[in-house]
Amino acid sequence: MKISKQLSKICIVLLTFYFLTQVSFAAEPVDIWEIKKTDISNETDVENNETTNTEIIQGVKIEQQNEKVIINQELDSADVKLAGLYDPAENGLNIDMWSNSNGAEITSSLEKINSKKLSNFSKKILDVALLTNSYLPTNNISAEEFLNYKFEYLIKKKDFDLIKKFLIKNPSLKNSDKLVRFYADFHLSNSQLDKSCEIFEYINLVYDDYLTNFKIYCLLNQNKKEEAQLLFDLKSEMESIDDFFVKKFNVLMSYEKKDDVLSDENILYLHLSHKTIENFIYEPKIDTPRFIWKYLSTSNLLKEADLIDIEDDEQVKLIEKATSEEVYDEKELLNLYKKFEFNINQLINVNKIYKLLPDFEARALLYQRLLLTVDTEQKLILSSKLKKLFDDSNLSKAFDEELSNTLKKIDEEEIPSNFTTFYKENKEPEKVKESKIKFNNKILHQSKLLNYFLNKTSLLKVEKETNDLLKKVKRNKKYSFSSKDIMMIESLKSDGVKILEKYDGLYEYKSNISTEINSFIVNGETGLVLLKLVEIIGKDEVENLDIESISFVVGIMNELKIISLRNEVLLKVLPLKV
């Protein structure tokens, strides 16, 4: 191929130059935060080719029909100074929130957080801490290490819209390959190839072999065969391509006829196998990875659950595994359990008999008996045993919806004390209705001053209202300032509300912020302080914290001027709601 030969010559020259100068290829990173701007002309003269060992040679680029493909192996991610998604000003933060922190402290705190179960509010704080645009820390932690925490957080969060926004905002991060792959693989496993391919339109640099192959296939799928061939040839010149992908590429380019080679090494290869094998059949096994189950399901390649032979132990176990992986609906598995035939003696003596049966049969017996049970305590006993059997077989997600539905039908007042914890932990929480705030101007923390935290009152207006209310409180000799009153007034003062001197002695306030946290605040280590807050709050929702802990959290947020998060805390714990 003419194009291939020309490109081959170009690549050989470039590679020779690489080994002579010992300088890595690197594409110029897009500096989206405009910290450093470099103007490189497309027309480079001979003098500009004389680079020093410290200069960066522009990476190999292929541009064809407005389609830019960049392969680059050596971009130094130390060039990346900023990474994030949210504007720091949105949450009262600044771009230097990590600059003064010790990397060892950051790592220690993040590792502790990763080992904990977090409440929704803790997750919200962590979201702000890790996804706010900011300079990366440099003291005792590399850019790669810190960015990896961001990537792992996004992967664990599984918010694919958020991942997409993050990648679009940060298109040139070297070690974001795992994030790009997670996004692309997820959508391909759901048979959404267009969404998988879409992400490559926003990524400036491709480093990973797997992602390069994925990009080539996307170009083929978009009928951009010339670009796909160019990228394939370039990759072939720079490094070897595994035989499987070469074979499938040739089939898709119509260089060869369809073949029967199948690979489930990854989701892309399974998909390519499906697309190039005429009569594609894949039989999953117990240890088949989740992404394959999902792909088979969304591609209509799985056998219907009602066609499963219950005499075939392995098929029943496969359905159980697939249900836990959320491939089959719980109802399909439970309907399968109904097909098992048990005699009346087995159903009556279920508590003894189930222990003698294989685990999948035991689950079927317990479920059938549960359906026949009316007594509340018996329902709880059978449900708890059935859940334990699922949990012991690592199939917890195969029974969580049905268990929740079963428990919701039971009146909480009928629950025996020994099943209270089981009931609360497994009954899905009801959706909390948004309550309206009821104002009570006789109590400071329930007064109309709350409108300020709802962004319904200006600072000047709330200042007058605060002093007017304090005037009334001062006249009321019986009024006693509560911790919530003090929390509110101190928050208003933190925002700039000026309290008249004559009201200074109405209450005593002493900050309960620890010496350690205070030193972080003074040193401008806002990001680290947020991590410490996540550690402290942990799995507790704010409204369930004791008043001293709430005061501690609010005090820190006042010091940091994190207004939006602080207001959210105050509006959860101060008002009387109806």
Q: What is the pLDDT of residue 224?
A: 94
Q: Which residues are within 8 A (CB) of 97 and not within 5 positions of it... i.e. 6 or more apart?
A: 88, 132, 134, 524, 525, 526, 527
Q: What is the pLDDT of residue 568?
A: 92
- Residue 63, phi then psi, degrees to nearest 5: -120, 120
What is the per-residue pLDDT across 6-47, written as a single tens digit (0 to 9) for each? 444 444 434 433 433 333 333 333 333 333 333 333 333 333
81 or 291, greater pLDDT: 291
Contact status, residue 167 vs residue 30, Cβ threshold 8 Å: no
What is the per-residue pLDDT across 360-404, written as a single tens digit (0 to 9) for each? 899 999 999 999 998 899 999 999 999 999 899 888 888 888 888
Q: What is the pLDDT of residue 544?
A: 87
Beta bridge partners, 26, equal 58
Map out the domains of the chain as residue ranges.
Answer: 2-70, 80-276, 329-426, 437-577
238 or 474, greater pLDDT: 474
3-class state of residue 300 by DSSP: coil
CA dihedral (401, 406, 412, 418) in degrees, to 10, reads -90
Indicate if the pLDDT at residue 56 is higher than 80.
no
For 551, the token pair is 């005061």
Indicate if the pLDDT at residue 77 is higher than 80.
no
3-class state of residue 30 by DSSP: coil
Highest mean pLDDT among 193-197, 300-304, 323-327: 193-197
Nearest C-alpha neighbor of 82 from the set 38, 128, 133: 133
Q: What is the DSSP string of 320-349?
A: HHHHHTTSS-HHHHHHHHTTS---HHHHHT
Q: What is the pLDDT of residue 287?
A: 79
SS (H, E, C) 235-247: HHHHCCCCHHHHH
Query: How far is the C-alpha of 37 from the C-alpha of 29, rounded, in Å?
Result: 10
**Percent of the chain topping pLDDT 90:** 51
Contact status, residue 271 vs residue 288, Cβ threshold 8 Å: no
- Residue 139, phi then psi, degrees to nearest 5: -90, 110
Nearest C-alpha neighbor of 163 from the set 123, 192, 194, 196: 196
For 55, the token pair is 């200069």
Residue-wise burial string across 4-22, b where 16 or more C-beta atoms lie within 10 A, e elsewhere:
eeebeeebeeeeeeeeeee
Nearest C-alpha neighbor of 134 from the set 98, 173, 169: 98
Q: Band of the pLDDT at 60, cuts 50, 70, 90?
A: very low
What is the per-residue pLDDT across 399-456, written as a single tens digit (0 to 9) for each? 888 888 888 888 888 888 888 888 888 886 444 445 678 889 899 999 999 999 999 8
Query: Looking at residues 100-105, what average pLDDT do you find?
Result: 95
Indicate if the pLDDT at residue 271 is higher than 90.
yes
What is the per-residue pLDDT across 333-344, written as a single tens digit (0 to 9) for each? 888 888 888 999
352 or 578, greater pLDDT: 352
Query: Looking at residues 351-366, what average pLDDT do you find?
Result: 91
Query: Looking at residues 109-127, what average pLDDT do you find?
Result: 92
pTM here? 0.71
